[in-house]
Amino acid sequence: MPKVYWIARVDVRDAEAYKKYVEIGRPAYVRNGAKFLARGGKTEVLEGPARARNVVVEFPSMEAALACYNSPEYSEAKLIRQSISDGEFLVVEGVE
């Protein structure tokens, strides 16, 4: 079974509130086997439009990635993220 990745490209308007988003979502990440591979950090734009913050999170399966996203904890955290940032958020299956 291939691993699955959340990919988020975000421009955060309130850095302090974003910390609360991360904190509230943490139990869902742990319960669903999330592994953060990239979280912010240096970015070099090679092509196209960019966002200030880029995040890649690995999950053991599509079920785990979706369970995390739809969990009560992440649903609460998501409301914070959506209110203080703009961006794109998707889930993609990796190759085996």
Strand partners, 7: 56, 90
Q: What is the pLDDT of residue 1?
A: 86
Report the residue count for the chain: 96
Which of the following CATH numbers is that of domain 4-42+50-93: 3.30.70.100, 3.30.360.10, 3.40.50.620, 3.40.120.10? 3.30.70.100
Q: What is the pLDDT of residue 33?
A: 98
If phi over 0 gives left and psi between -120 and 50 gives alpha, with beta otherwise, what is residue 33?
left
One digit per residue, the tens of pLDDT, for the chain of length 96 reads 899 999 999 999 999 999 999 999 999 999 999 999 999 889 999 999 999 999 999 999 999 999 999 999 999 999 999 999 999 999 999 998
Domain limits, the chain? 4-42+50-93
Could you list the beta-strand ranges (E) of 13-84: 35-39, 53-59
Say which amino acid occupies 10: V
